[in-house]
Amino acid sequence: MENKKDDFSEWYNEIIDLAKLSDKRYAIKGMNIWLPYGLKIIHLIDDLTRKYSDEKNFNEVSFPVLISREQLEVEFEHVKGFENEIYWVTRGGRDKLDIDLALRPTSESAMYTMFPLWIRSHSDLPFKIYQIVNVYRYETKHTRSFIRVREIHFYEAHTAHINYEDAENQMREHLKIWEELSNDLCIDYSLNTRPDWDKFPGAVYSVAFDTPMPGYRSLQVGTVHEYGKNFAKNYDIKYLDENGNLNYVNQTTFGLSERLLAAVIGIHGDDRGLILPYKIAPVQVIIVPIPGENYDKIVNYSSDIINKLSEMNIRCDIDKRDFTPGYKFNDWEMKGVPLRFEIGNKELSDKSITLALRTQKKKIKIKYENLNDVYNYLNAVNNDIRNSSKKFFDDNLIFIDSLDKINEDKMVKLYWCGSRECSDRIESISEKAVLGNVYGDNSSGKCMICGREGKLSVFSRTY
Ligand SMILES: [Zn+2]
């Protein structure tokens, strides 16, 4: 297997193949097949996203995949932002369609033609929906599994509010959901307000979650957008207030994709394979019975343990395949399973379990009656993941105060005046693009290029 440090790109592709997450040999480039193990992981991520959204009173919907040209062209800025990326359906059978249909690149224009039918009065607000669907973008850049694909596994939340202040509160609630989810995935991130020329087409402003990845590039893993009344005015989304006046709603959105899985693979994995936080591990505990004397009894004892773990709602399995234990250990390590139980004759005779944590070299022996401790060990693995992920983040997002450090192979924080000239200058020297001002930071300092007053900002090469 490739060494992660020496060649991250090769390592990344190889791990996706070996752990059987997806198959990119499909006839259409950039449209990959989700293999069973990869699909189970992304569904577990979806389950968490659903849980946190539902807890905050979002309702799940499912919109059609096709959007008519008329619907799409209502908001000029928006359609302009996507015009190079849209797949068009122009025929139905042998007939040329009267109006071209787009495969949704995102669903604003699909949803907002329906919002005026659903939102009538202030009592309909706040209005909060989301969907988890595939969206389509004609990527012309080099595609890469889970990072840059043409069929995207997409979470999109859309909200409407009485006023701008409520919409701003909603932005903070989106960030709260993100905080909970990223904590489960053990991903650290930097919140950056994108410069105006890089915000979502049609938005007032956009905040992105950027995380440093191996390979000296950052990955945008999610975004939230404040729309103000921009879309409401174009799609005529109004509500009747308490005084009987018609007002436009204020809107926000929140988007995530399978890039979350890319971040989990890239940040946590090592030269032995994936490392999965237990909340998204399809198998949390794998039991490997060790062949030899009393094998039947060892298997029975293992089944007994499986039953007990299942009662504790732990996802577990027993590997009875006809391979050597060493092969099985490697295979489950490749798949990132947090805990492995090794059960042999010794464990059978003293009613114990030998336990291996994916993140540690040493093995631990526990008593069968202490099986309830298994959650402590799952948490121990998560703590290890979190610590190394935090260390990686701190090492790879650094503050710099002089231009001669700009070429460090890291994401950098520096003071920038906000002008395009200065960010272009930084990009031409270092290939690092501006990701935006650090969200919520109020400090100020001299722009590294022109010396004018600037805000703390992040620059990086990006995936
Ligand atoms: Zn400047």
pLDDT tens figures, 15-42: 999 999 999 999 999 999 999 999 999 9
Per-residue pLDDT at 299: 97
CA 199 to ligand 1 center in whole angstroms: 20
Which residue matches tokens 């008593």? 367
For CATH 3.30.930.10, list the domain ranges present in the chain: 8-268
3-state DSSP assignment of residue 337: coil
Tokens of 430: 């270092």
Computed over its alpha carbons, how large is the radius of gyration of the chain? 25
Pairing of strands 411-416, 433-438: unpaired
19: Cβ contacts below 8 Å, ≥ 6 apart: 37, 38, 273, 274, 334, 335, 336
Q: What does the pLDDT look like over 337-363, one tens digit per residue? A: 999 999 999 999 999 999 999 999 999
Distance 429 CA to ligand 1 centre (A): 14
Question: Cα of 276 to ligand 1 centre, how many Å?
Answer: 42
Q: Which residues partner with 154 through β-bridges?
A: 133, 257
Give the dihedral sign, CA 48/49/52/53. Answer: negative
Compute, in angstroms, the gap from residue 206 CA to the centroid of ligand 1. 21
Q: What local confidence, expressed as pLDDT, does residue 182 receive? A: 98
Please name which of 80, 70, 149 lies closest in space to residue 110, comparing C-alpha atoms. 70
Query: How would residue 251 be classed by pLDDT, with cut points 50, 70 and 90?
Result: very high
* Ligand 1 centroid, distance to 396 Cα (angstroms): 24
The mean pLDDT of 192-217, rounded to a whole number, is 96
Q: How far is the CA of 440 from the centre of ligand 1 (A)?
A: 20
CB atoms within 10 A of CB 94: 5
C-alpha–C-alpha distance, residues 46 and 49, integer Å: 5
Calculate how far, in angstroms, residue 436's C-alpha sits from the geometric centre of ligand 1: 13
| CA 447 to ligand 1 center in whole angstroms | 5
Centroid of ligand 1 to alpha carbon of 407 (angstroms): 18
Distance 348 CA to ligand 1 centre (A): 69
426 CA distance to ligand 1 centroid (A)? Answer: 10
Tokens at residue 294, please?
Answer: 């009393």
With cut-offs at 50, 70 and 90, classify the pLDDT of residue 1: confident
Percent of the chain with pLDDT over 90: 95
User: Mean pLDDT for the chain?
Assistant: 96
Distance 399 CA to ligand 1 centre (A): 17
DSSP 256-310: EETHHHHHIIIII-BTTB----GGG-S-SEEEEEPPSTTHHHHHHHHHHHHHHHH
211, β-bridge pairs: 219
pLDDT of 99 strictly over 80? yes
Centroid of ligand 1 to alpha carbon of 415 (angstroms): 8
Q: Which residues pair with 356 in a beta bridge?
A: 340, 363
Confidence of residue 135 (pLDDT cuts 50, 70, 90): very high
> Is there a contact between 100 and 88 (Cβ–Cβ < 8 Å)?
yes
Which class does domain 397-460 fall in? Answer: alpha beta
Alpha helices by DSSP H, listed for 128-284, are 164-185, 230-235, 259-263
Residue 2 in this model has a pLDDT that exceeds 80: no
Q: How far is the CA of 425 from the centre of ligand 1 (A)?
A: 9
The answer to whether 412 touches 406, Cβ cutoff 8 Å, is yes
Long-range contacts of 80-87 (CB under 8 A, 24+ apart): 80/201, 81/200, 81/201, 81/202, 82/106, 82/137, 82/201, 84/138, 84/140, 85/137, 85/138, 85/139, 86/136, 86/137, 86/138, 87/136, 87/138
**Could you give the percent of the chain with pLDDT greater than 70?**
100
Nearest to 411 by CA among 380, 434, 388, 384: 434
Residue 164 CA to ligand 1 center (angstroms) comes to: 31
* pLDDT value of residue 361: 93
Cα 210 to ligand 1 centre (Å): 22
What is the C-alpha separation between 163 and 165, in angstroms, rounded?
A: 5
CB environment 357-386: b (16+ within 10 A), e (fewer): bbbeeeeeebeeeebeebeebbebbbebbb
Tell how far the Cα of 459 is from the centroid of ligand 1, in angstroms: 14
Residue range(s) of every CATH 3.40.50.800 domain in the chain = 285-377
* Whether residue 303 has pLDDT greater than 90: yes
Cβ–Cβ < 8 Å for 246, 240: yes
Q: Is the pLDDT of residue 79 over 90?
A: no
CA of 293 to the centre of ligand 1 (A): 74
Other C-beta atoms lying within 10 Å of the C-beta of residue 226 = 23
CB neighbour class for 137 (10 Å; exposed up to 12, middle 13-18, buried from 19):
buried
Contact 355, 365 (CB under 8 A): yes
Tens digits of residue pLDDT in 141-168: 899 999 999 999 999 999 999 999 999 9
CA of 423 to the centre of ligand 1 (A): 7
Torsion 107-180-8-357 (CA) sign: negative
Separation of alpha carbons 56 and 128, rounded Å: 9
Cis amide linkage into residue 195, ω under 30° from 0: no
The mean pLDDT value for 33-56 works out to 98
Q: How far is the CA of 211 from the centre of ligand 1 (A)?
A: 25
Determine the pLDDT at residue 80: 84
Q: How far is the CA of 456 from the centre of ligand 1 (A)?
A: 12
pLDDT of amino acid 280: 98
For domain 285-377, give its CATH number from 3.40.50.800, 3.30.70.580, 3.30.420.480, 3.30.1280.10.
3.40.50.800
Q: Given this model, what pLDDT does residue 285 score?
A: 98
CA of 453 to the centre of ligand 1 (A): 8
pLDDT (0 to 100) of residue 82: 87
Using the mean position of ligand 1's atoms as its centre, give its distance from the Cα of residue 419 in Å. 6
Distance 454 CA to ligand 1 centre (A): 7
Of 244, 312, 307, 231, residue with least CA distance to 278: 312
pTM score over 0.75:
yes
CATH of 8-268, one of 3.30.930.10, 3.20.20.70, 3.40.50.920, 3.30.470.30: 3.30.930.10
CA of 202 to the centre of ligand 1 (A): 26
Checking if the pLDDT of 270 tops 80, the result is: yes
Confidence band (pLDDT; 50, 70, 90) for 403? very high
Distance, CA 417 to ligand 1 centroid (Å)?
4
Which DSSP symbol is given to 130?
Answer: E
Which secondary-structure segment (H or E) carries 205?
strand 205-213
User: 195 C-alpha vs ligand 1 centroid, how far in Å?
Assistant: 14
Question: 451 alpha carbon to ligand 1 midpoint, in Å?
Answer: 6
CB atoms within 10 A of CB 106: 23
Strand partners, 398: 412
Range list for CATH 3.30.110.30 in the chain: 397-460
State the distance from the centre of ligand 1 to the C-alpha of 303, rounded, in angstroms.
66
Question: What distance in angstroms lies between residue 406's CA and the mean position of ligand 1's atoms?
Answer: 15
- How far away, in angstroms, is 414 Cα from ligand 1 center? 11
Spacing, Cα 416 to ligand 1 middle (Å): 5
How many other CB atoms are there within 10 angstroms of residue 311's CB atom? Answer: 9
Burial of 91 (0-12, 13-18, 19+ CB in 10 A): exposed
457 CA to middle of ligand 1, Å?
11
CB 227 within 8 A of CB 253: yes
Decide: 131 and 63 in contact? Cβ < 8 Å: yes
78 CA from centroid of ligand 1 (Å): 29
